[in-house]
C-alpha cells in the first residue's frame, strides 16, 4: 500500500472523545507500557492535536506507514487496538502430558548418573528437546541447578529474643546507645604465588589460583546503630580475654562522648561472651546490657551486614605479604568506612512479620519433609 506526498501532508479527520484521549494519556503514564505501544499512543495523541501524518513521522523518527497504521488501529478498536497483536507463527507444541512428565520427574525423581537434573539429562530422560525443558522450567520457576541452605533455630526462647532485639532496633530506649558486637575470626593473610595481572580493556584482573598463607587475625567490631559507625580492633587470638579487652576499648570510647547513656549490646551466644570474667565485668558496669540472639540466628545481628561488606570490598582479591599488613589494611578500612560510608542502621520488619515468616518457613519445611519421605519410598531412578 502506498501514499502520495499530498496525502502524507494532509491533516485527515481524526474523530475521538475526551474519554479516549484520557485513556491514551494514561497508557503513556504507565512505566510498564512497551516502547512500541508507547509510540502508537504518542502518534494518536499527535493526530488528536491535528498534526499531519508526515509531521508525526518526522517528529518520532518513524515511517509514515507507521503513523497511518496506528491511526487505523485506533479508529477500528480505540485504545484496545494500540497493544501488540499476536504474531503469526506455529502454535505451541508443548503438550500437557509433556509438561506434567517433566515437572513430575524434576521434583520427584533423580537421574541415575547425577545428583540433580540438567537440561541435557532431562531432555534425554523425558524425550523432549532442551528448549522445551527450559521453557517448562522457566514457566514453573524451577531451577534444579541451584542449591540453597537454611537452618531453623532450636532456641526455646526464640520468639522472646526476636521481639526483644527487633524492639531494640526499632524503638531503642531514650538516650541509649545500641551496639551490635561480634568477631570475624580466622581472617587469612593470603598472598598470591605470582604477580597480579592488572585489569585492562577487554581483560579482567587475573591472579594465580594458588596462594601462600602468612597467618590469620581476628577482627572484633562494634557497630553503632544510631550512627552506623564501627569500632574495630584486630587480635591474634579469639578468647574471652580478647573479647573483654575489646569491651573495655568500646566502653572508653562511649564514656568519652557527651551523649553517653545506657549501652545495649546485641551479640551471639559464643562461649567467649559468657565467661565468669565477662559476667564480673558486666556486674561492675550496670549501664551495659547484653541481648543475646537466638541460636543459629546470626541474621539478627546487625554487625553481620558490615562483616559482609568487609569480605566483599575489603578482602576479596587482596593479597597480603604478612599478618601485620592485613591488620593495617583492616584498620584503614574501618577508618575510611566511618569517614565516607557510615549511615544509621534501619530495621524495617516488625517482630510479628519476622515470626510469621519463620512460622511459614517451618510449615513449608515440614510439608517438604513429608513429601521427601513419601517420595523416597516410591522413587525410582530413571
What pLDDT does residue 216 have?
Answer: 92
- Which cell is 71 given? 491511526
| Interval 270-312: pLDDT, tens | 889 999 999 999 999 999 999 999 988 888 899 999 999 999 9
pLDDT tens-digit series, residues 249-260? 999 999 888 777
Q: Which three cell numbers stand for residue 372?
A: 521427601
pLDDT at 380: 47
For residues 131 and 198, what is the distance between their CA atoms, to the nearest angstrom?
39
**Dihedrals φ, ψ of 76, to 5°?**
-80, -45
* pLDDT for residue 155: 78
How high is the pLDDT of residue 5?
Answer: 43
**Which pLDDT score, from 0 to 100, does residue 369 have?**
57
CA distance 332 to 232: 10
pLDDT at residue 127, as a whole number: 86
pLDDT beneath 50: ranges in the chain: 1-9, 375-376, 378-382
Q: What is the 3-state secondary structure (H, E, C) of 339-376?
A: HHHCCCCCCCCCHHHHHHHHHHHHHHHHHHHHHHHHHH
Compute the distance between CA of residue 311 and CA of residue 47 in angstroms, rounded to an integer: 58
Q: What's the grid cell of residue 285?
A: 558496669
What long-range pairs does 236-245 form, CB within 8 A, spacing at least 24? 238/183, 238/185, 238/186, 238/272, 239/272, 240/271, 240/272, 240/273, 240/275, 240/277, 240/278, 241/277, 242/218, 242/272, 243/183, 243/272, 243/273, 243/278, 244/277, 244/278, 244/281
CB 271 within 8 A of CB 296: no
Is 266 exposed, middle or buried (CB count within 10 Å of its CB: 0-12, 13-18, 19+)? buried
Q: How far apart are the first and last CA of the chain?
A: 58
On whether the pTM is more than 0.75, the answer is no
- The pLDDT score that the predictor gives to residue 7 is 47
The whole-number pLDDT of residue 243 equals 94
pLDDT for position 352 = 87
What is residue 333's predicted lDDT score, i.e. its pLDDT?
A: 94
Amino acid at each position: 500500500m502506498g501514499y502520495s506526498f499530498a496525502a502524507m501532508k494532509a491533516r485527515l479527520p481524526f474523530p475521538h472523545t475526551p474519554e479516549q484521549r484520557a485513556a491514551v494519556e494514561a497508557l503513556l503514564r504507565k512505566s510498564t507500557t512497551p516502547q512500541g505501544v508507547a509510540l502508537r499512543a504518542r502518534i494518536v495523541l499527535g493526530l488528536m492535536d491535528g498534526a499531519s501524518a508526515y509531521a508525526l513521522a518526522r517528529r518520532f523518527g518513524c515511517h509514515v506507514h507507521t503513523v497511518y497504521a496506528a491511526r487505523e488501529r485506533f479508529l477500528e478498536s480505540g485504545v484496545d487496538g494500540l497493544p501488540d497483536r499476536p504474531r503469526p507463527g506455529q502454535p505451541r507444541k508443548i503438550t500437557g502430558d509433556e509438561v506434567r512428565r517433566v515437572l513430575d520427574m524434576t521434583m520427584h525423581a533423580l537421574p541415575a548418573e547425577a545428583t540433580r537434573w540438567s537440561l541435557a539429562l532431562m531432555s534425554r530422560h523425558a524425550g523432549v528437546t532442551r528448549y522445551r525443558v527450559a521453557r517448562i522450567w522457566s514457566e514453573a520457576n524451577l531451577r534444579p541447578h541451584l542449591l540453597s541452605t537454611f537452618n531453623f533455630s532450636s532456641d526455646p526462647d526464640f520468639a522472646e529474643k526476636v521481639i526483644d532485639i527487633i524492639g531494640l532496633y526499632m524503638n531503642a530506649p531514650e538516650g541509649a546507645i545500641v551496639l551490635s558486637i561480634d568477631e570475624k575470626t580466622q581472617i587469612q593473610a593470603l598472598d598470591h604465588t605470582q604477580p597480579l595481572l592488572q585489569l585492562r580493556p577487554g581483560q579482567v584482573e587475573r591472579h594465580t589460583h594458588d596462594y601462600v598463607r602468612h597467618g590469620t587475625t581476628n577482627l572484633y567490631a562494634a557497630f553503632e546503630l544510631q550512627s552506623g559507625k564501627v569500632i574495630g580492633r584486630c587480635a591474634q587470638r579469639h578468647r574471652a580475654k580478647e573479647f573483654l579487652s575489646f569491651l573495655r576499648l568500646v566502653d572508653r570510647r562511649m564514656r568519652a562522648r557527651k551523649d553517653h547513656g545506657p549501652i545495649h549490646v546485641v551479640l551471639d551466644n559464643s562461649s567467649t561472651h559468657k565467661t565468669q570474667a565477662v559476667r564480673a565485668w558486666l556486674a561492675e558496669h550496670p549501664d551495659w546490657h547484653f541481648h543475646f540472639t537466638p541460636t543459629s540466628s546470626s541474621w539478627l545481628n546487625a554487625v553481620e551486614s558490615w562483616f559482609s561488606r568487609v569480605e566483599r570490598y575489603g578482602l576479596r582479591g587482596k593479597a597480603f605479604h604478612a599478618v601485620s599488613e592485613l591488620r593495617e589494611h583492616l584498620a584503614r578500612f574501618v577508618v575510611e568506612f566511618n569517614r565516607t560510608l557510615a549511615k544509621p542502621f534501619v530495621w524495617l520488619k516488625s517482630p510479628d512479620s519476622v515470626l510469621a515468616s519463620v512460622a511459614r518457613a517451618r510449615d513449608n519445611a515440614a510439608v517438604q519433609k513429608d513429601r521427601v519421605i513419601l517420595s523416597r519410598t516410591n522413587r525410582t531412578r530413571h
